Amino acid sequence: MTAPAIDRLHLSPDAADLLFREARTANAFTDEPVTDDHVRAIYDLAKYAPTAMNQQPLRLVLVRSEEARARLVGHMAPGNRDKTAAAPLVAIVAADTRFHDELPRVFPHAPGARELFADPHARENSARFNAAIQLGFLILAIRAAGLAAGPMGGYDAAGINADFFPDGEHRVVAVVNIGRPAADAWRDRLPRLAYDEVVTTV
Amino acid sequence: MTAPAIDRLHLSPDAADLLFREARTANAFTDEPVTDDHVRAIYDLAKYAPTAMNQQPLRLVLVRSEEARARLVGHMAPGNRDKTAAAPLVAIVAADTRFHDELPRVFPHAPGARELFADPHARENSARFNAAIQLGFLILAIRAAGLAAGPMGGYDAAGINADFFPDGEHRVVAVVNIGRPAADAWRDRLPRLAYDEVVTTV
């Protein structure tokens, strides 16, 4: 379906379809592997996401060993276990609550930036929020690589944090299945809110 | 600079440049107006962002009247006031903490979904996190429309919430300047974390 405002787009229709309009959360994948080269290409786009004070809190754990996969599956909600076990690649997306240690390097023109994040509670909120912006970019970068993403929020977060981040400084914010979508990967598109429900003018 | 893994991208180089590699946070804009048609085209892409249980908490307030613009500028941090006053369009991005009232319609196959969000604190956290994923999509959709985004986090959040959302049910999560970038819109790109600082394998 062509949107009425399509002539306002600068992006090509093919790219808009690939990234937004025809892309979907995938629930099943082919056996084709997702290589580290794929993930590097994905990160080479996703890394440009804007974050507050360039804090870049997102971290990715690629779960490649059978042993780690089994541990992760055990932390997932029952409805997510089979697809977590079967996806070509599963990535744990986490927010690094120690992002502020990097600010002198990644936000060099504001020497006092690190000290603005002295409060651990405010810092964790900032890490989660900005990692979510990066997660939006990451999902679109996965699609830009011709792959599909299956982000999941149903898991035992405390269990994943303790098991995969024993430093106590990271918080899982999503688990994402990545791969080439299988023919039966898609559920029906869920309804989106209408423009007038979302956008108001003052 | 061509990334070594570029051959792993399915998206065209032009589109990757438009959305990710050459796109930047803009700090100055031309006088060209941003119309409601632009915003409709942007929303027609951004609305497809995946959110937990399809909750879609993001709301946009387009600040078009001089009076509302003046009020908003008064809530911004000093360093953000001039650009907020000058941008062709300024949008307040908010998370609707009552998103769960829409779940019976937007997540219809799970009749009990609304009740999972009975706790207001957990609901607000979910609204903020998922609105941030949508904000990532929104920024890329603005670029897809050939425009530039200038997201800002420096403002008096309590002041904006009280002034623009007297229902007490919305939380500002960003203020975004939108427009055609001026020639002097760009600062130097800030450093991004390297792949090996962000991605680990287990």
B107 CB neighbours in chain A (<8 A) are 190
Q: What pLDDT is attached to residue A7?
A: 55
Across the interface, of A68, A136, A201, the residue whose CB is closest to B133 is A136
- Distance (Å, whole) CA A120 – CA B54: 30
Residues 6+ apart with CB under 8 A from A27: A83, A150, A185, A186, A187
A50 φ/ψ angles, rounded to the nearest 5 degrees = -75, 135
Q: Indicate the pairing of strand B199-201 with strand A170-179.
A: unpaired
In a domain, B122, yes or no: yes
Query: Does A130 contact B132 at a Cβ distance shorter than 8 Å?
Result: yes
Query: Does A10 contact B18 at a Cβ distance shorter than 8 Å?
Result: yes
SS3 A124: helix
Residue in chain B nearest A1 by alpha carbon: B44
B108 CB neighbours in chain A (<8 A) are 191
Query: Does A12 contact B10 at a Cβ distance shorter than 8 Å?
Result: no
Q: Is the pLDDT of residue B153 over 80?
A: yes
Averaged pLDDT, B149-163: 97
In a domain, B54, yes or no: yes
Query: Does A193 contact B106 at a Cβ distance shorter than 8 Å?
Result: yes
Across the interface, of A60, A107, A201, the residue whose CB is closest to B64 is A201
- Distance (Å, whole) CA B50 – CA B137: 9
Q: Are A47 and B193 in contact (CB under 8 A)?
A: yes
pLDDT category at B97 given cuts 50, 70, 90 is very high
Q: Are B173 and B97 in contact (CB under 8 A)?
A: no
In a domain, B55, yes or no: yes
Looking at residue A92, which CATH number applies to its domain?
Answer: 3.40.109.10
The percent helix, strand, coil of chain B (3-state, each to 5) is 45, 20, 35
Q: What pLDDT is attached to residue A79?
A: 94
Higher pLDDT, B85 or B111: B85
Q: What pLDDT is attached to residue B187?
A: 83
CA distance A155 to chain B (A): 12
Residue in chain A nearest B130 by alpha carbon: A132
Query: Does A193 contact B102 at a Cβ distance shorter than 8 Å?
Result: yes
Q: Is the pLDDT of residue B1 over 70?
A: no
Query: Does B191 contact A105 at a Cβ distance shorter than 8 Å?
Result: yes
User: What is the tens place of the pLDDT at every residue in B115-133?
Assistant: 999 999 999 999 999 999 9
Query: Does A195 contact B40 at a Cβ distance shorter than 8 Å?
Result: yes
Q: What separation in angstroms does the CA of B14 have from each of A4, B21, B53, B177? A: 24, 10, 33, 24
| Number of compact structural domains in chain A | 1
In a domain, A63, yes or no: yes
B68 CB neighbours in chain A (<8 A) are 202
- Distance (Å, whole) CA A121 – CA A127: 10
In a domain, B50, yes or no: yes
- Distance (Å, whole) CA B161 – CA B147: 27
In a domain, A6, yes or no: no
Most B CBs within 10 Å, among A19, A55, A60, A80, to test the B interface = A19
pTM of the model: 0.95
* Intervals of chain A under pLDDT 70: 1-8
User: What is the tens place of the pLDDT at every residue in A13-29?
Assistant: 999 999 999 999 998 99
Most B CBs within 10 Å, among A69, A99, A201, to test the B interface = A201
Q: Are B41 and B142 in contact (CB under 8 A)?
A: no
In a domain, A188, yes or no: no
Q: What pLDDT is attached to residue A185?
A: 84
Q: What pLDDT is attached to residue B2?
A: 41
Question: Kindly report the CA angle at B17 between B12 and B23, in degrees rounded to 5?
Answer: 150
Across the interface, of A18, A132, A193, the residue whose CB is closest to B10 is A18
Averaged pLDDT, B37-60: 97
Q: What pLDDT is attached to residue B7?
A: 55
Q: Which domain holds residue A46?
A: 32-179
Across the interface, of B11, B52, B173, the residue whose CB is closest to A15 is B11
Query: Does B41 contact A5 at a Cβ distance shorter than 8 Å?
Result: yes
Q: What pLDDT is attached to residue B6?
A: 46
For B194, other C-beta atoms within 10 Å of its C-beta total 10
Query: How many A-B residue pairs are in contact by the CB < 8 A criterion?
Result: 239
Q: What pLDDT is attached to residue B184?
A: 86
Residues 6+ apart with CB under 8 A from A162: none
Token couple for B63 = 């600040």
In a domain, A17, yes or no: no
Q: What pLDDT is attached to residue A184?
A: 86
